[in-house]
Structure 1
Amino acid sequence: MDKKGIATYLVITIALSFAVQWVVLSLPKLSLLHLLLFAIPAIAAWAAGRISPGSETISGILWPVPIVRALRISCAIYLFFAVVFLAGVIAGFTKPDWSIGELLARLPAYNDIRVPEHVKPVLPLAFLLLSFIIMFVIAPTVYAVLLLGVAYGWCGYLLPRLMPLGRWTAYGLAGLAAGISTLPLSLRGGAGAAHAFQWLAYAVAVSAMVGEVWRRSENLGLTAVCAGCVYCHATQLWNALFPANATVFPWGGTTGILFTLAWAIVALAPDEVFGPLESSRTSPAVPINEADAAG
């Protein structure tokens, strides 16, 4: 195991991530700097490869991305968000705000829209429909490109070096490290230890799901599509439709227990959810130890 490469990658990733988040939290006007967090894993992988020269190899290809498999992943994740939120509504853990009042209140231009009075009540639903269509397009494209650095660093560099421990242990350790690296922003607003544990459990579940896509497909581009779809849906319109003040902690919300369980289930049965992910290449790029092969 390349302990030097692993340690270098983790130290650089966590240190730089904490530094960026400290700036963002201290200077809200520089909030766009949080986008640097998506590039840090790739920077750390590059630096670790220089410091530990024997570990420069990145596992998986970035391009081309298999379009059909990418579309299946995008549709499946979209459907999972709808199903999990529906389950949350039925269980009483959340309820929708069809007026998306919290979101529209942050859009000053909305109040300036001049339409007949009988039309204005329909505008939130029209906005919702248009936004969901836009999310379907940008999640596997724009957000996938945004998450390429994340896929490159965590899956292309770190996971192969943790695989000798067994793939589930590797996913767990990578998820914990990724969760820790983003704790400051995740806990902004005074969230306590319970929220921290919830976030770390969620990060492990997502790590396992995305890791299985990477391991089976050997395609970092497809892995970025999966990560981009999850990130887009978890941070955009669903949060406006199901606001935090109408959500029961720790069950509801896009990082709550329901979604943690959902992504863990997908990690256990990715082919059943996403369809076959295996690469057409004859020799696997990702080693699996005997214990994993038997499991």
Structure 2
Amino acid sequence: MGRLFPLKFQSLPIFALLSALFLSFNFCPDLWAAQDAIVTEDQAVIYADEQMSAPVGFVRKGKKIKVGDISRNRAQVYPIIVSGKIAYIRVIDVSTAKETVDSKVLVAERFQKGANRDEEASNFAVSIFNFSSQIMMDKQNDVLKDKDPVNWFGASVRGGVKANDKWDFDMILTFMNAKAEKEVFRAVEFGFGGAARIYDKSRFKVRALGQVMAIPFASYALAEEFRVIGYGFTAGGGLSMAFRLGKNFGLEGFGGVYYTKLAGFRTPDPYQDIAPSFIGTRLGIGLNYVF
């Protein structure tokens, strides 16, 4: 009997060690194998659980990380070590040398994600706007004088393409008209613009934009006395906001500070030739179409 107790006492740690090894190999395989991955999403979310119900942070695009060799939750997430704890990152947000995507749901999600990006590659907008400006000129032909307010009303057509994940390239065509007592100004603008997306979600976007436009045609008229032709340019910048109402259509609003210079007006005697400038704010609203 004295020999049986030592034998049982010595077998206990061996059994516990074998059990621990068995559980480790069967329930924690991600601790034994890892692979390199590169984050492909702008901000890949890190989750505390496999079901992706508790986000705890994010990793920026281009970051090289270590993820588990075996994916979880129907191949939707990879395990990742964060501050000594196991967390999870979506498979579609990273690229690995060995990608094993067995989930049909995940394959469809990858396809849809790419399709959505392609849909947003180009956009088209039609808007109306008000240009509330102050005129600057050193000569006058009627009651309109230097630093008087001049309100323009216009319409614009804009076409845009997505240059990359942060920048858009725009082409703009506008027509605007202003009347101050008997004096009337008209201008056609055509030019280009760049826009940085500072907030970019699937249904709501905010862009910081800058535009430079030539004015190949402008006119200046005084009642029935004369109407002369000129030219000019416009430069300005501000913010635009777009809210998608459906798959393709949405609302767009914009506002900013603009400077317009007109020149080339040759008025008949006894009137003065003028080359006015206008500076002020433009506010507009319209419809956009994404395709």
**Structure with max Cα Rg:** 2
TM-score, normalized by length of structure 1? 0.24
Quick check: which one's helix share is greater? Answer: 1
Quick check: which one's strand share is greater? Answer: 2
Structure with larger RCO (C-alpha < 8 A, sep 6+)? 1
TM-score, normalized by length of structure 2? 0.24
